[in-house]
Structure 1
Amino acid sequence: MTTEAVAAEAKPAVNYRRAFERVALILVWLAIIAIFGAIMPRSFLNWGNFSILFASYAPAALLALAIIVPLTAGDYDLSVGATLTVSSCVIGVLNVWAGMPILLVILMALAAGLVVGLVNAFFIVYVRIPSLVVTLGTTSLMTGIVQWMTNSSTIGGIDNALIMAVVGGRLFGVPYAFYYTLGVAIVMSYVFDFTPLGRRLLFVGRGREVARLNGIAVDRVRVGALAVSGVLSAAAGVLYAGVLGSADPYSGLNFLLPAFAAAFLGATTILPGRFNPWGALVAVYFLATGITGLTMLGIPLWVTNVFNGGALILAVTISQLTRGREASDIG
């Protein structure tokens, strides 16, 4: 048998394997729903339960989408959780304490996210400090600023217009917060898959020197990715303030770990080997379903951290293996 014939016989098997990889996480998600549903049919298999889940994890989902933009370009942004917190607290301080109009305050919160992204980009791209170091430093800096802004206290009484826009209205029983995140995922998916900008992001992430030699403005792409990450993180803060109806200077940081876990776990599904919006969205709600089910079973709170941490390690491992195999297949 010739080499070409062997390759032709092997090709369908490879295609089946890739097809299974694309939907494996979705199948596991459905299996988890079925297991918890069998254990708690009345409480878990309740549309109200899923409605709350979709809305309450919308900020985390938007944060995961923010993370995958610089990740695609090869940079890490650990400051997304702190940016979310800054954004929500800007809304609390300016709207509740200063009495400013909610729409203006939202624009200022988004502008704060843009500033954070550009500051990160300056030190990462032009000063050439590793992205992990810079964004870890800005996280600590923003945490201190938030505590100073809020006097380390939760600010309640945010304008009801924001709350109604985020969780007051419902479509198919699900609050609008989820659909805002879904809309961002649709736009990102289009940009990633069908525009030159998306291809530039991917090229820069796969090999900066090769991208530079092909005429791509690598530095500008990286700056843009970090700026977009900052704005989307701030938008997640706006959603978070609307979901809570208040500004909490602490709890927003809890979204960082699950958001990163979802970003890497999402790179193992839909488009294995690539950070992609739909994979990240599925991964967030896969993790949310597991945590919600365990919580409803009365599992201790510390299990949440174990679950998220284990998911992150497993997701990074599988993602690296998938990306490595994809590179070897191309080679």
Structure 2
Amino acid sequence: MTTVETRGPALAGSTPALSRVIGILQRYALPIAILLAVALFGSLRPDAFLTWRNATAVLTLAAPMLVAALGLTVVLAMGEIDLSLGSAIGLGGALAVCAMSFFGTPWPVAIVLGLAAGAAAGLLTGAMVVRLGANSLIITLGMASVLTGVEFLMTDQRTIYTGIAQGYIALGQSEVLGLNLQVWIAGLIAICVHALLWHTEWGRGMYAAGENPEAAILAGLPVSALRIAGFVIAGLGAAIAGILLTAQTASAFSNAGQAFLLPAYAAAFLGSTASSDGRFTAFGTVLAVFFIGIVQTGLTMVQLSTGAISLVQGALLIGAVLLSRLGRKERR
């Protein structure tokens, strides 16, 4: 009786065989899509796409987005929204670059300043959402404007490319075992986020808070602390992504982080379809970021316009949300 009520009319009449097919497609759609994308673009541009050089380029360019998407994954796992992600990316990277360029700050200290800014933004956002009971959608939308304003004041909306330490630039241009250092950094962060969400009490508490906050509170979980910590992690992830991005380009330019907002959400929602229970997971997000990177690179190689690439990104996000919703209805 409960199943019929919660499934909805679209799935209530589905046969067991159809339900199994939907479940299989939902769980394995992402790996299949990766293989199909590689096959498609590989057949269109085999001389350029199916090369080790292109593979490493895809991984390198995807590294900042992966870190940002992993932080967002934690917030989404708790049932919250963070629209300040792009602005936090811009602020974290710009602050580190401006500290070096304007004040001669040693690059490790500049990195710490960028990370502190991201964590502080996440802490402030979390406090307003959790302690004051504000809606995360509205608060993070407002925070996005505030953080962008701070970034613009620092950079005067100019591209900053002088006075950047070589040690900082090396974060984006040096290689370790044939891969850009940023790929290893992003991979390590992915492992840490996976371990947090799946192998710690805090991670299980974050999932519980997202699924049923009232029950989590009754079970004695520190739901408020967990939710605030989730926003801090998202802020840190955004700041790291901004630092990696500015190290790649050896510069900071205004509003650079906004281009990451839509792909990060697409990656997180698309990644949730790879989970048997539809949860937002680090593993799913990694697969989705890889898929989006392949698609973006492939579309660029076949010389599609920026508008067409944007259209595909939007379609991916819509499709990911619908797939995620369909999977949740089927499980209920």
Q: How does 1:20-59 map to 2 (within 5 A)?
A: 21-59=26-64
Alpha-carbon separation, structure 2, partners of 1:180 and 1:115 = 22
Task: Determine which of 150, 165, 169 is the counterpart of 1:163.
Answer: 169
Aligned match of 2:244: 239
Q: Deviations over 1:4-45 (max 9, x none)?
A: xxxxxx999977864554332112111111111111110111
Q: How does 1:162-181 map to 2 (within 5 A)?
A: 162-171=168-177, 173-181=178-186
What's the C-alpha RMSD, in Å, of the aligned pairs?
1.8
| Secondary structure, aligned partner of 2:46 | coil
Aligned match of 1:207: 212
Whether 1:137 and 2:142 are equivalent positions in the alignment is yes
Aligned match of 1:190: 195
Q: Deviations over 1:200-231 (max 9, x none)?
A: 01100001111111111211110111111111
Percent of aligned pairs with the same amino acid: 32
Task: Determine which of 292, 295, 305 is the counterpart of 1:290.
Answer: 295
Q: Deviations over 1:159-210 (max 9, x none)?
A: 1112213331232x32111111111111111221121111101100001111
Quick check: 2:272–2:279 contact (8 Å CA) kept in 1?
Answer: yes
Alpha-carbon separation, structure 2, partners of 1:15 and 1:192 = 27
| Secondary structure, aligned partner of 2:330 | helix
Q: How does 1:70-85 map to 2 (within 5 A)?
A: 70-85=75-90
Deviation of the 1:270 alpha carbon: 4.2
Aligned match of 1:6: none
Quick check: 1:88–1:248 contact (8 Å CA) kept in 2?
Answer: no
Aligned match of 2:221: 216
Query: What amino acid is the match of 2:257?
Result: G
* Shift in alpha-carbon separation, 1:301–1:28, aligned structure 2, 3 A: same
Aligned length in residues: 317
Quick check: 2:29–2:274 contact (8 Å CA) kept in 1?
Answer: yes
Deviation of the 1:56 alpha carbon: 1.2
Query: What amino acid is the match of 1:126?
Result: R
* Shift in alpha-carbon separation, 1:21–1:259, aligned structure 2, 3 A: same
| Secondary structure, aligned partner of 1:155 | coil
Deviation of the 1:122 alpha carbon: 1.5
Q: Deviations over 1:35-87 (max 9, x none)?
A: 11111110111111121111112111111101011111111111111111001
Aligned match of 1:321: 326
* Shift in alpha-carbon separation, 1:272–1:262, aligned structure 2, 3 A: farther
| Secondary structure, aligned partner of 2:146 | helix
Q: How does 1:264-303 map to 2 (within 5 A)?
A: 264-303=269-308
Q: How does 1:54-69 map to 2 (within 5 A)?
A: 54-69=59-74
Q: Deviations over 1:107-137 (max 9, x none)?
A: 1110001110011012111111110100010
Query: What amino acid is the match of 1:186?
Result: I
Quick check: 1:21–1:272 contact (8 Å CA) kept in 2?
Answer: no
List gaps (5 residues or longer) in structure 2.
1-14
Task: Determine which of 231, 235, 250 is the counterpart of 1:226.
Answer: 231
Quick check: 1:110–1:231 contact (8 Å CA) kept in 2?
Answer: yes
Whether 1:96 and 2:101 are equivalent positions in the alignment is yes
Aligned match of 1:250: 255
Aligned match of 1:4: none
- Normalising by structure 1, we get a TM-score of 0.91
